[in-house]
Structure 1
Amino acid sequence: MKLNLLTVMLLGSGLFLTACGGSDNKGDNSTTSTNVNADVNNIQNPVVNTPVPYVLEDYDKEYYTVPNAEEGVVMTYKMQGIKGQETQATALVFTPKTEPPAGGWPIVAWAHGSVGVGDDCAPSRNPIVRGGLLPDVHTQKMIDSFVQAGYVVVAPDYEGLGEPSGTEIHPFLHLKSAAYSITDAVVATKSWLGNKASNKWTVVGVSQGGHAALGAAQYAARANMDYKGAVALAPANNLEMIESLSDMA
């Protein structure tokens, strides 16, 4: 792979949450083990219906498109939820314009940072480039660079964020829930794209997503695919300290 995605960057952070958005604060470093025993994903027909185009009527196209992607879609998929039962979740999927190589496009899972806990905060319901005087284009450029290099990018909303029923709660910073949101989204992406996608996958995340990326590394065996590694940027950690500070505040 062109990027050294076997590197795990542990740049610890604390993380505080507001309704839709949050701020990240540095803390102690955290580590995790890899490929512990996990239930293998045996969910039948993991993709629910045909993925729909990622279109936001209230925003100009430049705010939600990825220039080098052939298409961007919102995929509803089945995952094992926090209660140990099958539930539905959503994810963005971006595919390259290039023809798949022999063996298919490798998959990169993008794990987003904190956006909030309400359904309206889900990344699939919002522009990649947030509006304002100084739009943040970093996520868009990163995803664009991946698809330009020939990777499929799947970006899960996480369990309970933007899910179809609108009744489930997002288990914020629950490691196994976040991990399964990622592993099961990767399985669903492979199922949807078939031979166009490779069995090779990796995960990249920041802040809450860095925490989720480490969880996906720990439970990578669940996908039963060719896991290559994780890049965890400023992963949320030292959660006992965060809880204590929250209680004090």
Structure 2
Amino acid sequence: MRVVHTCQRAVAVVTLSVGAALLMHTVPAHAETPGTLIAEYPLPEGTRGMSNADGTVIEYWMRGSHGTTQPASGALYIPAGTPPPSGWPIIAYDHGTSGLGPGCGGQSDPLAHPAQTIARDEDALLQYLASRGFAVVAPDYLGLGLFDTGTHPYLGIDTEATATIDLVRAVRSAHPELSRTWAVIGASQGGQAALGTGHLQVTDAPDLDFRGTIAIDPESDVEKLASLFGPGTPTPPAIADGFMDLFVSILAGLRATRPEVSVDQYLTPEGRSVLDSVGAMCTPQIMDRVRGLSIGNMLARPLSVEPMPAAVDAYMAVPTGGYNAPILLCINVTDAIVPSPLHGVLVAQLAAAGVDFQTVLGTGEHTQLNPQMWTAIEQFVARIQSSPASGNP
């Protein structure tokens, strides 16, 4: 497997071990165009149980917050064998909640950071997609990979989308065997990211041939809960388990990327202390840090006071119109992490906007796929392959 370098780097990589992948890389001195490859090198054979695909780590430039260009990382899996005449179609996989700090993304170093506590059957899904003849790309997201670029903008839908689109561009620049045809799938945070990607690509990547979005229990409409919280508010018992770490991660990401909001003005000293401490943690450590805390003890002002409501909406709201390709929603009505009424709001909004989407319901835990969902996913990806494929110029 070849090693590709497109920038002058101080680190020469010939082979990759799990330990080496854990080393955080120095941010290159000079940024290049987003979607430009920095480096590519092999993942250990058999990573994620991939027996039918070759895996590589991808380092690339992506668009960060406020128009900046930042280095990022992810993974690429290319099926073994001869590509079809039009090239391997691409599916981007957007992962679920994994933390806020470097190394937490789990894609460029999946063996070292099993931090995604609410993502189910990730390896099986990636193996399935590769077995169906798709090249799979998986971004770590901004700040969660091999470069320390500061606290990850958790649920910041703009950088989730640019991390995905710019990774697709980077891998295509180095691999002529990859097609223009692509789609995106994601679960939980990744479901929200996938929807953001499917929306942004309409104007951001019209040169590519986008075929659709699969979102599994996406973290949608969570921003609508913000106005309910203020000083003294107890954490709702129905969503207490697994919610505090999400709440804290949202505020930490917002504080890091939207300084004009002055998030600290909404926080008690305890709240500021919590946010100060979690910015480089992965999800298991964040969960330990917030155990026993309540929302009300963290807040000095209601989150319904501007500019917070408008800022949160702009930061993380899922677009409800303007899509140009089909959407498959897999939703568990018994989801306790993202309460199912919020998913109901998303479905109603998409329907009102006339979006081409299908919903498949389940009664499992957050991101759990039942047989009906798997059938719908199989049919969705089969339609991508049965349609005339675009070439790879």
TM-score normalised over the length of structure 1 = 0.71
Q: Which residue of 2 aligns with 1:213?
A: 194
Q: Report the AA paired with residue 108 of structure 1.
A: I
Q: Report the AA paired with residue 53 of structure 1.
A: P
Where in structure 2 are the equivalents of 1:37-56 lying within 5 Å? 43=33, 46-49=36-39, 51-55=40-44
Instruction: Give the Å deviation of 1:82.
Output: 1.0
2: distance between equivalents of 1:93 and 1:80?
19
Structure 2 counterpart of 1:67, from 45, 51, 57 = 51
Residues 177/45 of structure 1: CA separation in 2 closer, same or farther (3 Å cut): closer
Q: Is the 8 A contact 2:35 2:168 kept in 1?
A: no
TM-score normalised over the length of structure 2 = 0.46
Residues 119-147 of structure 1, C-alpha deviation per residue, up to 9 Å, x if partnerless? Answer: 1312122329949xxxx882112111111
Aligned CA RMSD, in angstroms, stands at: 2.5
Residues 230/83 of structure 1: CA separation in 2 closer, same or farther (3 Å cut): same
Structure 1 counterpart of 2:165, from 178, 183, 186 = 183
Misfit runs of 4+, over 4 Å: 128-131
Q: Is the 8 A contact 2:191 2:214 kept in 1?
A: yes
Residues 160/80 of structure 1: CA separation in 2 closer, same or farther (3 Å cut): same
Instruction: Give the Å deviation of 1:63.
Output: 6.0
Structure 1 counterpart of 2:100, from 92, 95, 117 = 117
Q: Which residue of 2 aligns with 1:38?
A: none
2: distance between equivalents of 1:187 and 1:212?
17
Q: Is the 8 A contact 1:111 1:205 kept in 2?
A: yes
Q: Report the AA paired with residue 52 of structure 2.
A: N
Q: Report the AA paired with residue 111 of structure 1.
A: D
Q: Is the 8 A contact 1:72 1:92 kept in 2?
A: yes
Rg larger in 1 or in 2? 2
1: distance between equivalents of 2:133 and 2:46?
21
Q: Which residue of 1 aligns with 2:122?
A: 139
Where in structure 2 are the equivalents of 1:135-214 lying within 5 Å? 138-164=121-147, 166-194=148-176, 196-214=177-195
Match of 1:127, SS state, is coil
Instruction: Give the Å deviation of 1:45.
Output: 6.9
Residues 89/44 of structure 1: CA separation in 2 closer, same or farther (3 Å cut): closer
Q: Which residue of 2 aligns with 1:126?
A: 110
Q: Is the 8 A contact 1:63 1:129 kept in 2?
A: no
Match of 2:67, SS state, is coil
Match of 2:184, SS state, is strand
Q: Which residue of 2 aligns with 1:3?
A: none
Farther off after superposition, 234-243 or 122-131: 122-131
Aligned residues: 195
Q: Is the 8 A contact 2:60 2:167 kept in 1?
A: yes
Q: Is the 8 A contact 2:161 2:197 kept in 1?
A: yes
Of structures 1 and 2, the one with the larger relative CO (CA 8 A, separation 6+) is 1
Identity of aligned residues (%): 31
Q: Is the 8 A contact 2:101 2:150 kept in 1?
A: no
- Structure 2 residue runs without a partner (length 5+): 1-31, 230-234, 236-246, 248-294, 298-393
Q: Which residue of 1 aligns with 2:218?
A: 235
Q: Which has the higher strand share?
A: 1
2: distance between equivalents of 1:172 and 1:44?
20
